[in-house]
Structure 1
Amino acid sequence: MLSFAFSAEQEDFRRQLRKFAETELAPRYRERAARAEFSFEAHRQLADLGVLGIGLPEEYGGSGEPDPITLGLATEALAYGDVNVAAAPVQVGLVAGQLAWGGRQAVVQAWLPRLIAGEVVAAIAVTEPAGGSDVAALRTEAKKVAGGWVLNGEKIAITHATSAAVGLVYAREPGSRGHDGISCFAMDLGSPGVGRTPTPGMGALPLCWGGLSFEDVFVPDDGLVGAAGRGFAGAMRHFDFSRPALGLLCLGAAQASIDEAAAWAVEREAFGRPLAAFQGVSFPLAEHATYLEAARWLCYRSLWTRESGAQHTQYAAMSKWWPPIVAKDAIEAALVTFGNLGYSIELPLQQRYRDVASYLIADGTAGIQKRIIATAMMGRTAAR
């Protein structure tokens, strides 16, 4: 029989993180969100809770084998208190996972324990000015030289661009085209020739978005992650993990907003009755609660499919385009429920709205995700 139950250990972990989110993260959410600075204080707290090592090798401080469902649970629970801090396990899982299973020993030993301990953060540098979501069109070049590679190029819209110590940089061999010839390199972002440019947005400021430039940056042989010229496939496989995790991140923030709006509707009175007594108030909240629940299980379906080893690219894409929209709409409904107070900076609703809106774009827009889904659908149809 199909079961929607998490293990007892997972439930205990989720409750622990939810309590941490409510008591430790939520009270300072708006304060952190107002600064374009990465919060290492909160990040190290996550490390102490074991969040940053989920599914990573034990010898480096992790929990062991890949565990996408537990990581999704952690992300959702933490986002209830601070959607920006909650991005940490996704980013660490995305970068450290590639290092752990594809990196050379010297680089793994240099960076993985520090990432899991929360001492440093990492960036993944794919997007470029001329390519956007078209990874096959990237232009950053990696020329083979004695002892390593020399990289030249530019990346934009990079999470942790101004705060990361290490980055996974995707670059192609000179003269290569399309997906062929793209490799992944673990680069010390303090290396000579690396430039950083902040690009503050209307939200998600603590994620330190910005651009990276590379001018004759040398990366030693040990910096190659995976096989040379095969980086595209490796990147896509890991994005299939991050997309449902980001969906859950948005939904965690939206659930906090709906819960706050429901409590307010019971407490606040109008025309001698609680707001909750008016269907014009209670029914929209009921509708959004339904959408949140449906979107939540879509994300866990994707993570469960990944854990079982089955193909799940289309589920990951579904989990990225729809849940952020569901979450954004739910936060907007909660904001309206509070009236003018909801729009004010006294409440976290307006901040969550702006922070969650970033995920309408990050990691691929809805249009890109629908293209992935449609391609999978047409491929199955053609194979019949």
Structure 2
Amino acid sequence: MVSFAFSSEQEDFRRELIRFARAELAPRYTQRAARAEFPWDAHQQLAELGVLGIGLPEEYGGTGVPDPVSLGIATEALAYGDCNVAAAPVQVGLVAAQLAHEGSKEVAGEYVPRLIAGEIVAAIAVTEPSAGSDASHLRCEARPVEDGWRLSGEKIAITHATTAAIGLVYARHPGSSGYRGISCFLVPLDAKGVTRGAMPGMGALPLGWGTLSFDEVFIPADHLVGEEGNAFSGVMHHFDFSRPALGLLCLGAAQASVDEAVAWAQQREAFGRPIAAFQGVSFPLAEHATYLEAARWLCYRALWMRETGQPHTDLAAMCKWWPPQIAKDAIETSWVTHGNLGYSTELPLQQRYRDVASYLVADGSAAIQKRIIATRMFGKVAAQ
């Protein structure tokens, strides 16, 4: 029999995090979101809750067993209170998993426990001025030298660029082209030759988007992560996890907004009745509730397929283009339901709208995701 139920442990975990999100994160969400400063206090609270170690090896302080579904639960629940803080388990999961499973023992032992403990954050540096979703055009170069490499180039629109202690930097070997010859390196961002720059957007300010420039930065040999010259396939595999998780992040913020709109519609009166009595108000909210529910289970199905070892690249791409879009639309309807109050800075709706909008482009735009889906679709047809 097919079951869509979480385990009793997962359900207890979800309820605990929802309570935490409402009591601890939501009251200060807009205050944190207005500043381009990383929320270290809230981040440390996540570490104390064990959220940053989900699915990571026990030897480094993690829970031990890969658990993508529970990490998705955590991301959605936390986003109900603060979608910027909720990005932490996704980013830590991406970086720490790569280091733990593909990095040297020395490097993993130094940095993974600190990531899980919330002491530091890390960046993933792929995007460049001339290469966004098309990583085959990376120009950042890692030149082999004695005992390591020299890294030169520039990365843009990098999450945590202004805050991270370390970065997973993707660069190509001299003379290589396309996806071949790209390697991943662990780079301490206080190293000589590294320059940071801020690149703030209209939302997601605490995530510290920015630029990273590398001028002949020395990378020791043991800082290579994964197979030399074959890092592209590795990062794509990890993005198959992050895309459903980020979809759930957007849905968590949207659910909070719809819940607020429902409560407001029952309190606010017009023409002698609560505005919830008017179909022009209630029907759009009913439609968004339907879309959110459908998108939620799309994301959890993708994470379940990852957990059970099944191919899920196409589902992961679906989770990245559709949930952020319908989440943005649901938040827009929610603030319109509130009228001019919803548009004001007095309520968190306008802030959620701007923060969630960042995921329309972060980690690959809708057009890129649809290209992935279409490629898989037509490949399947050809193979039949």
The alpha-carbon deviation at position 357 of structure 1 amounts to 0.2
Q: Which runs of 5+ in 1 are unaligned?
A: none
Work out the CA distance in 1 between the residues paired with 2:219 and 2:107: 11
1:306 CA displacement: 0.5
**Which residue pairs with 1:201 in the alignment?**
201
- Correspondence list, 1:96-135, <5 A: 96-135=96-135
Partner of 2:380: 380
1:73 alignment partner in structure 2: 73
Q: How far apart, CA to CA, are the structure 1 residues paired with 2:235 and 2:136?
A: 12
Matches within 5 A, 1:315-326: 315-326=315-326
Matched letter for residue 276 of structure 1: A
- TM-superposed deviation, 1:259: 0.1
TM-aligned CA deviation for residue 65 of structure 1: 1.9
Amino acid in the other structure paired with 2:214: F
Letter of the 1:76 counterpart: E
| Structure 1 partner of 2:330 | 330
What does the per-residue CA deviation read over 1:52-91, in whole Å, with 9 as the maximum and x for residues that have no partner?
Answer: 0000011111001211000000000000000000000000
Deviation at 1:372, TM superposition (A): 0.3
Matched to 1:258, the amino acid is V
Give, in angstroms, the shift of residue 132 of structure 1.
Answer: 1.2
- Equivalent in the alignment of 1:261: 261
Distance (Å, rounded) in 1 between the aligned partners of 2:316 and 2:108: 27
2:50 matched residue in structure 1: 50
1:98-146, CA deviations, whole angstroms, 9 ceiling, x for partnerless residues?
A: 1111010110011000000000000000000001110111010111111
C-alpha deviation, 1:194, in angstroms: 0.4
Query: 1:262 offset after TM fit, Å?
Result: 0.1
Identity %: 73
Question: Which portions of structure 1, spanning 4 or more consecutive aligned residues, are displaced by more than 6 angstroms?
Answer: none
Partner of 1:186: 186
Which residue of structure 2 lines up, in the alignment, with residue 21 of structure 1? 21
Tell me the residue number matched to 1:251: 251
* Structure 2: runs of 5+ lacking an equivalent: none
Size of the aligned set, in residue pairs, is 384
In 1: Cα distance, 2:195 partner to 2:127 partner: 16
CA RMSD of aligned residues (A): 0.5
How far does the alpha carbon of each residue in 1:253-281 deviate from its partner, in whole angstroms, 9 at most, with x for none?
A: 00000000000001111111011111110
Alpha-carbon shift at residue 51 of structure 1 (Å): 0.3
Alpha-carbon distance in 2 for matches of 1:10, 1:319:
21
SS at match of 1:174: coil
1:282 aligned residue: 282
Q: Deviations over 1:201-220 (max 9, x none)?
A: 00000000001000000110
TM-score by length of 1: 1.00
TM-score (norm 2): 1.00
- The letter of the residue matching 1:273 is R
Q: What is the rounded CA distance, in whole Å, between the counterparts of 1:211 and 1:174 in structure 2?
A: 22
Alignment match, 2:273: 273
Q: CA deviation at 1:248?
A: 0.2
CA offsets per residue over residues 145-201 of structure 1, 9 Å max, x none? 111111000000000000000100000100001110100001101100001010010
Alignment pair present for 1:12 and 2:9: no
Aligned equivalents of 2:138 and 2:47: distance in 1?
A: 34
Encode CA deviations 1:266-303: one digit per residue, 9 max, x unaligned: 11111110111111101110000000000000000110
Residue equivalent to 1:241: 241
1:175 corresponding residue in structure 2? 175
C-alpha distance in 2 between matches for 1:104 and 1:230? 16
Q: How far, CA to CA, are the matches of 1:202 and 1:285 in structure 2?
A: 26
Q: Which amino acid aligns with 1:304?
A: W
Provide the rounded CA distance (Å) in 1 between the counterparts of 2:94 and 2:136. Answer: 20
Distance 1:174 1:339 in 2: 57
Q: Distance in 1 between matches of 2:167 and 2:66?
A: 21
1:340 aligns with 2:357: no
Secondary structure in structure 1 of the residue aligned to 2:85: coil
Look up the match of 1:3.
Answer: 3
SS at match of 1:88: helix
Q: Quick one: which amino acid aligns to residue 156 of structure 1?
A: I
Partner of 1:145: 145
**1:11 corresponds to which letter in structure 2?**
E
Whichever residue aligns with residue 278 of structure 2, its letter is F
